[in-house]
Amino acid sequence: MSDGGKSPAGEVWQCFKCRIPMAAGKVTITYLSSEFPVELLKCPQCGLVFVPQELAMGKMLEVEKALEDK
Amino acid sequence: MDQKELRLLEDRCIQENPPACTATCPVHVDVRSFLAEMARGNIDGAYAVYRKTIPFAGIVGRVCDHPCQAACKRGEAGGTIAIAALERACVQLAAPKTAKVPALQKKDQCVAVAGGGLSGLVAAFDLAAKGYGVTVFEAEGRLGGRLWHLGEDVLPGQVILEETASLERLGVRLQLGTAVGRDVSLPELDFDAVYLGLGETVKGLESLELDDRGRVAIDPLTFATSFRGVFAGGSMLTGETVFSIIGSVSHGRRAAVSIDRYVQGASLTASRDREGPYVTRLFTSIQGVEPLPVVSPRNPEQGYTREEAVSEAQRCLQCQCLECVKACEYLASYRGYPKRYIREIYNNESMVKGQHTANGLINSCSLCGLCAEVCPNGLDMGEVCKTARGSMVQKGKMPPSVHDFALRDMEFSNGNKFALVKAEPGQHSCAHLFFPGCQLSGSSPEYVAKAYAYLREGLTGRVGLGLRCCGAPAEWAGRSDLFREGLYEIRHQWHELGQPRIITACSSCYAVFKQNLPGVDIVSLWEIYDQIGLPEGTLTHDGYRVAVHDACATRHESHIQASVRHVLERLGCRVEELAYGRGMTECCGFGGLMSFANPGLAAKVIDRRAGESGTDYVAYCAMCRDRLASRGKPALHILDLIYGRATESLALRPDPGYSQRHENRARLKARLLKEVWGEKVADPTGFENVKLEISGEIKTVMENRLILVEDVQKVIEYAERTGNKLVNQDRFLAYFKPVSVTYWVEYAPAEEGFRVYNAYSHRMEIAGEVQR
């Protein structure tokens, strides 16, 4: 386990409160009046969402920039 | 920017003006491109460039009287380019090609050309190429007139015959042995227009008005005579003693333009100011150009060989201006020059739908003003970009991510944690107000405390303290609302303190106040050290050599630059001047918030600056010092030399980073409140109490991602308070959006507080609340 940001290997994130594993589900993300329905891991019970670093700093950043220049 | 402003701005960038050779040429041959092709050894390419402008290239190329050559800038560095000899070599060496006959639609109108000399041939060529039916009347039995007198060795008769044969291919009818005015009278010519290129003679032309020299009167702009539809040029205008080959070409061409306009019923005079020779506005520096002598042909009678021609053409400077582009990494990085950039910015601003592709161009400028210093016309791209930013903000088109962090940093500095504007203990007013600035306070808070003590001790009159941001980031971000708001507050506080003189330690604060607070007396801290001397016991530095990195914000404040140097000399330093120093100084890449809009470019900017001298730099702006050091350049702040010990290690100390700057500012306020006023700041509350362990590696990650320690504290405080977090073995992952950015933190409980393993962020919002 390094400080580089990798989650502990081979394990999955669980919702702390509901104590159940995250599962794929529909989430709406918005930016500058645009809405995007996407499939993300979320807690089936309380709706807590998991956005991995790769998504936040990859595709999401790309879309943010594109929308900002529109 | 409206159309008119666009044109005015564009006009100030002279890069697209032609080089002197082209402007001087009466028909504006693209000599620069011609020479570029020659220099590459592409003789046929050069010939093609030449022929684009010059009809009968084989003739003109051999005998042109080349007024272009005297105007060549190379003359100032070794000798003008032998343009005429190169044109001659080109037309002799190029693969023979017959002129292309353009497949233009024939027009119904017909034009008579009287006189088969060069000007008449060119008029006939141009008009036939436009589709007119052209008939040439020539008294002699052959075309060419005086060209035949130039000598077989200079211009072989065969060349004249071959070149003029192109007229017949264009469908020009020839009436040889027929002189207008002798065999056929002018009124007898039943044509829509007539061009006269008959030499100085007036025989048979008595119906035309004559001038006071007894020659046919010809309008020098339109080449019109007194007779409607009759135009004239060549020696008829100049007299036969002045025979200019290229002048004749120009006359024939310009008369053909008039005839075309006349026949089409268009204005004869509109937009003709750039016909014939003129003086170009293009500036080309020959600073640093190595003088090279003209290449002499080994056999002068034969002229240049191919190899000789290529090396002579390689001496061409390919004249351009690009003064600003040479001086500025930002302007160079977009691979154009201001005229193009201004157009792009205008288009960016006026477009309604689609991608705003110039946003990066507009936001990446440091607004440092160096371009205006080096531009022959003083064009300031910074002003253009700043105005564009304001307009983007107003239209709601400024990308929120660009300046958000810097503006929040400013908000921090003007908030409770740092802002403090106070007279001395027990006083309500002061004679001076020390305004150290947020960056010096964030970078070297201990110097602020020392300088404040020095000022209180050394100055006559009481010295108040003003901790806050001057508002420069708001101005740079185009946020005039925030900028004005801040200035209003500062002016109000200044009034309340009895209108003290403001002493700044930051060049940006100085510039902001000087430009926006009229009536307020502003002085830099460096002038005070210069005027009242260094603090007692200041160590000197025994000939320590330093190169001064002047701050771009005070490029016009020569008195501040002078004071800095006096202080350095008094400190025992030996001062080195950088090539780009004082009024010509370069920005460190922080100005204009460049480092937020375009971090990669800002790194290049500071690397370029750092590479200008191997000597340690000294700056008098904290941000400049820290940015230089962040790229490994040994750099000191002038206060390091006054108050610091062990300057060697101080020169290498890293940039403190954004989080540390916040902490330093907050601690400075707390310390000064306690030491000077005996007051205490409020205890930390809420998230501020979250204790963190963060490794150096993660600190760097956070710094690069513009995530502050306080952002991480807020996420963990929220997650621990609500339980809204993910868990994976002993690790937690939580997200929280304090204002506009959602921060994610991976962490685990530690002995004292929490250990941070990762942090990242996004601006897109996750819709919907977490259900309890």
Q: Is B460 on the interface with A (CB under 8 A)?
A: no
> Which residues of chain A neighbour B356 with C-beta distances below 8 Å?
69-70
Interface residues on A facing B, Cβ-Cβ cutoff 8 A: 1, 3-5, 7-8, 11-17, 22, 27-32, 35-36, 45-51, 53, 56-57, 60-61, 63-66, 68-70
Return the exposure string of B504-522: e unless at least 16 CB atoms fall within 10 Å of the residue's CB, then b.
bbbbbbbbbbbebbeebeb
Strands B616-619 and B635-637 come out as parallel
The DSSP 8-state label assigned to residue A45 in this structure reads T
d(Cα B266, Cα B259) in Å, to the nearest integer? 10
The DSSP 8-state label assigned to residue B259 in this structure reads H
Tokens of B157: 């008769």
Q: Do A22 and B355 touch (CB under 8 A)?
A: no
Would residue A36 count as lying in a domain?
A: yes
Strands B616-619 and B574-577 come out as unpaired
Using the 3D structure, point to which of B532, B557, B579 is the last residue of a domain.
Answer: B532
Q: In this structure, how many other beta carbons lie within 10 angstroms of the beta carbon of residue B3?
A: 9
Which residue matches tokens 């971090």?
B599
d(Cα B743, Cα B663) in Å, to the nearest integer? 20
Strand, helix or coil at B660? Answer: helix
Q: Is B770 on the interface with A (CB under 8 A)?
A: yes
pLDDT confidence of residue A6: 42
d(Cα B85, Cα B82) in Å, to the nearest integer? 5
CA B468 to chain centre: 33
Q: Is B271 on the interface with A (CB under 8 A)?
A: no
Tokens of A55: 């998504």
**Half-sphere exposure (Cβ direction) of A57: Cα atoms closer than 13 Å:** 14
> Which residues of chain B neighbour A3 with C-beta distances below 8 Å?
695, 697-698, 757-758
Specify which residues B463 forms β-bridges with.
B432
Would residue A62 count as lying in a domain?
A: yes
Residue B559's domain comprises 545-655
Chain B segment 500-529 residues within 8 A of A by beta carbon are none
| Of B64, B76, B431, residue with least CA distance to B244 | B64
Which residue matches tokens 């025992």?
B572
**Half-sphere exposure (Cβ direction) of B703: Cα atoms closer than 13 Å:** 18
Would residue A12 count as lying in a domain?
A: no
Contact B578, B612 (CB under 8 A): yes
User: Considering the entire predicted model, what is its pTM?
Assistant: 0.90
CA B722 to chain centre: 53
Domain shared by B115 and B227, yes or no: yes
Strand, helix or coil at B331? Answer: helix
Contact B95, B318 (CB under 8 A): no
pLDDT at A3 over 70: no
Would residue A50 count as lying in a domain?
A: yes
| Of B131, B127, B97, residue with least CA distance to B112 | B127
Q: How many separate domains does chain A show?
A: 1
Domain shared by B459 and B553, yes or no: no
Tokens of B729: 């073995």
Domain shared by B215 and B166, yes or no: yes
ipTM of this predicted structure: 0.92
Which residue matches tokens 């206060």?
B639
Closest approach of chain B CAs to the CA of A22, in angstroms? 9
Strands B574-577 and B545-549 come out as parallel
Q: Do A16 and B763 touch (CB under 8 A)?
A: no
Closest approach of chain A CAs to the CA of B705, in angstroms? 10
Q: Is B768 on the interface with A (CB under 8 A)?
A: yes
Contact B264, B132 (CB under 8 A): no
| Of B609, B411, B590, B435, residue with least CA distance to B512 | B435
Specify which residues B420 forms β-bridges with.
B467
Mutation for B interface: A7, A22, A35, A57, most B CBs within 10 A: A7
d(Cα B230, Cα B212) in Å, to the nearest integer? 20
Tokens of A68: 């900002």
Query: Which positions ≥6 away from B151 have C-beta within 8 Å?
Result: none
| B348 to B69, B351, B353, B360, B383: CA distances (angstroms) | 42, 6, 10, 11, 16
The DSSP 8-state label assigned to residue B210 in this structure reads B
d(Cα B647, Cα B640) in Å, to the nearest integer? 7
Q: Do A69 and B355 touch (CB under 8 A)?
A: yes
Mutation for B interface: A1, A3, A50, most B CBs within 10 A: A3
Q: Do B766 and A50 touch (CB under 8 A)?
A: no
∠ CA B347-B349-B353, nearest 5°, is 80
| Of B105, B113, B102, B93, residue with least CA distance to B50 | B93
Closest approach of chain B CAs to the CA of A10, in angstroms? 10
Q: Residue B75 is inside which H or E element, if any?
A: none
Q: Do A27 and B768 touch (CB under 8 A)?
A: yes
Size of interface A-B (CB pairs under 8 A): 117
The CATH number assigned to the domain holding B497 equals: 3.40.50
Strand, helix or coil at A50? Answer: strand
Would residue B742 count as lying in a domain?
A: yes
| Of B116, B100, B106, B132, residue with least CA distance to B252 | B116
d(Cα B487, Cα B325) in Å, to the nearest integer? 34
For residue A12, name the pLDDT band (cuts at 50, 70, 90). Answer: confident
Contact B484, B414 (CB under 8 A): no
The CATH number assigned to the domain holding B732 equals: 3.30.2310
d(Cα B20, Cα B321) in Å, to the nearest integer? 12
| Of B238, B129, B127, B230, residue with least CA distance to B186 | B230
Q: How many separate domains does chain B show?
A: 6
d(Cα B566, Cα B573) in Å, to the nearest integer? 10
Domain shared by B43 and B84, yes or no: yes
Contact B174, B167 (CB under 8 A): yes
Q: Residue A15 is inside which H or E element, if any?
A: strand A14-15
Torsion sign over Cα B158, B163, B165, B169: positive
Using the 3D structure, point to which of B398, B428, B454 is the last residue of a domain.
Answer: B398
Would residue B246 count as lying in a domain?
A: no
User: How would DSSP label each residue in B113-179?
Assistant: EE--SHHHHHHHHHHHHTT-EEEEEESSSSS-GGGGGS-TTTS-HHHHHHHHHHHHHTT-EEEET--
d(Cα A25, Cα B405) in Å, to the nearest integer? 32
Task: Determine the number of helices (DSSP H) and then strands (DSSP E) in chain A.
Answer: 2, 4
pLDDT confidence of residue B525: 98
Q: Do A17 and B724 touch (CB under 8 A)?
A: yes
Contact B380, B369 (CB under 8 A): yes
Would residue B416 count as lying in a domain?
A: yes
Residue A60's domain comprises 23-68
> Which residues of chain A neighbour B354 with C-beta distances below 8 Å?
70
Tokens of B596: 């937020």
Chain B, nearest residue to A6 by Cα: B758
Would residue A14 count as lying in a domain?
A: no
Contact B233, B251 (CB under 8 A): yes
What's the average model confidence in pLDDT over A27-44? 95
Tokens of B395: 């239209």
The one-letter amino acid code at B516 reads N
Q: In this structure, how many other beta carbons lie within 10 angstroms of the beta carbon of residue B664?
A: 21
pLDDT at A1 over 60: no
Domain shared by B198 and B309, yes or no: no
Which residue matches tokens 């594993």?
A21
Which residue matches tokens 């830099």?
B524
- Across the 772 residues of chain B, what is the mean pLDDT of every consecutive 10-residue run? 94 97 98 98 97 96 97 97 98 80 83 97 97 96 95 95 94 96 91 93 85 91 96 88 91 98 97 94 96 96 96 98 97 98 96 92 98 98 98 96 97 97 96 98 98 97 97 98 98 98 98 97 98 95 96 97 98 97 97 97 97 98 97 97 91 95 97 96 92 97 97 98 95 96 98 97 89 62
Is residue B448 packed enough to be buried (19+ CB in 10 Å), middle (13-18) or exposed (0-12)? Answer: buried
Sheet holding B432-435, edge to edge: B420-422, B463-467, B432-435, B501-504, B522-524
Contact B598, B364 (CB under 8 A): yes
Mutation for B interface: A14, A18, A19, A29, most B CBs within 10 A: A29
∠ CA B297-B302-B304, nearest 5°, is 40
Domain shared by B383 and B447, yes or no: no
d(Cα B590, Cα B544) in Å, to the nearest integer? 27
d(Cα B430, Cα B415) in Å, to the nearest integer? 23
